[in-house]
Structures are given as structure tokens and as C-alpha cells.
Amino acid sequence: MSRLVLICVNSVIICGEKMNITLNNNPEKFDTAKCTVNELLRMKNFTFKMLIVKINGKLVKKEDYVTAMISEGDDVNVLHLISGG
């Protein structure tokens, strides 16, 4: 019998499974089976205030970052909005 051990580190669940996604057209591998948009932004140090996030081409509202899940094989785009004059 095999057991799956889950360890929670800074709100990120680390388990024996890995997740492969495409992030901004680059392959990325994570030591978690799933994560929320907020967790991804924290793991990849996206700290810019004005961001647009899409998962598989679907826009994710900022208020949904805490619940929107990223899974194996997802295509994620994080865009920085810059304004100026």
C-alpha cells in the first residue's frame, strides 16, 4: 500500500505529484498537483499591481485568484499592464 504525504509550506501543498504547465509560452514544472492563481503568482514572484491572468485562454477575474485552480497541462498567461504618459 502506498501513502500520499501532504506537507503545507506557506499555504502551498507539496506532494509526490508534479504539475507541468505552460506559463507565458514557457514550460514550467511545479512540485504540486494543483495550485491557485494566487499561489502561482506568489511562487513566481509576480508582484506587479496591475496583472491580467488567463488560464487556457479564459480571463480570470482578480477576485477569483484565490479560488481559480491551475492544473496539469494548463496554458497560463500572466500579463503586466503598464500605463504612463
Residue range 3-18, pLDDT digits in tens: 444 444 444 444 457 8
- Whether 39 and 10 have beta carbons less than 8 Å apart is answered as no
**Residue 20 CB neighbour total at 10 angstroms:** 11
- For the chain, domain boundaries: 7-80
User: Residue 71 forms beta bridges with which residues?
Assistant: 34
Q: What pLDDT, in 10s, does the model give residues 63-84?
A: 999 999 999 999 999 999 887 7
Question: Is 7-80 a CATH 3.10.20.30 domain?
Answer: yes
Beta bridge partners of 23: 26, 76
d(CA 81, CA 4) in angstroms, rounded, equals: 40
pLDDT tens-digit map of 27-44: 999 988 899 999 999 999
pLDDT computed for residue 85 by the predictor: 67
Stated pTM of the model: 0.77
Task: Tell me how far apart the alpha carbons of residues 19 and 33 are, in angstroms, rounded to a whole number.
Answer: 5
CA distance 19 to 40: 12
